[in-house]
Structure 1
């Protein structure tokens, strides 16, 4: 019986495919998925509390009058990301077209699975806050960190490994390194430093549905940019074969 699993072949890409437009499209997708992750937190917090707390591009809190279990809102962001990881992993293995596999690969890494592992290892992240709140072992920071690293690895590492296994071997690890590390470094500079400083300076800080206008404008700009360049995420000859 013939298997329906096909390998994502990096040889489909030529050097000309890795023009700046590819990386712009990918980083725009990273910004989109990152904001959807934050919205999972923010809107769940509103559903629990009936009010919005303050936020910026990467930090959020429930409103000061919230008496509900805020750790549920803390879990909402990672839960959204985990669902995306595993859907993409499934698509990477079983999508009926190679083009579908390439898009799934981009969405998987744009949702930053490595960043979740890295943050857990360094002692931070939503998962740590959720586990500490759930277990009540605030006094045992080492135990909370161990549990967090194990839990995050269970949800994040297999999709990364599935993606790695499906890629051909030539230059595979360099490619995976760029997809995992690049978005994290970009977000740290662009969102955490530049855009958050604009918010702190009072630029478009008026909120709508719990989100400052600057973040909303940024999201729409990234969405437009990604839509215009989305075909650059797949090899040129494959994209041309669609038409």
Structure 2
């Protein structure tokens, strides 16, 4: 009973905190984007945005610790949620804004996947939008001030992110810095992974549809065979009724 209560408490916690954490993630995205998009942002605004980023990261870290405390088997929880732990510890290893963005996206993705009411299509769409935003802002922040860079505006960054995620790669815009190329590699791998998820989802839908049609076809075939057997039985009964009955023999007279 104690284990069941712990599991129920953890499930209730995840259900209650899902929407607030997603709202915090949106606030993090805004705080991350403002200093990059607005070149005229002052020191005070940048400081506020950085504080918001750390507060959101702290909320996700606290959520991980609470779920760990509620877990009955904590060692197994750490083993099965190692990606969550890496996302929590990542900003502490190197306090860069880019790493805080990566860790927050990872944590949002992990929490979204645990929510049963979020369907695969919604998750894929959210992942695409999040990766496009992350890739665009990240590459713009590191490439805009590069002497040889050709990604200077948010429009250029969005176009580059879209062509990179779809693995088209026109080559009209490309990162020139080491960190920008690292972002490009991550975006390409993410785009390939999402494309694989979408392809697998479509293939699964078609297979399920074909299987459903096959089951329906087999059901109709069995019904037709059963109806055919009944018709044959009725024909046999009718034929038996139409046959002339044998004449009755008269009893022999007693002598």
Same fold (TM over 0.5): no
Larger radius of gyration: 2
Structure 1 or 2: more helix by fraction: 2
TM-score (normalizing by structure 1): 0.30
Which one scores higher on RCO, CA 8 angstroms, separation ≥ 6? Answer: 1
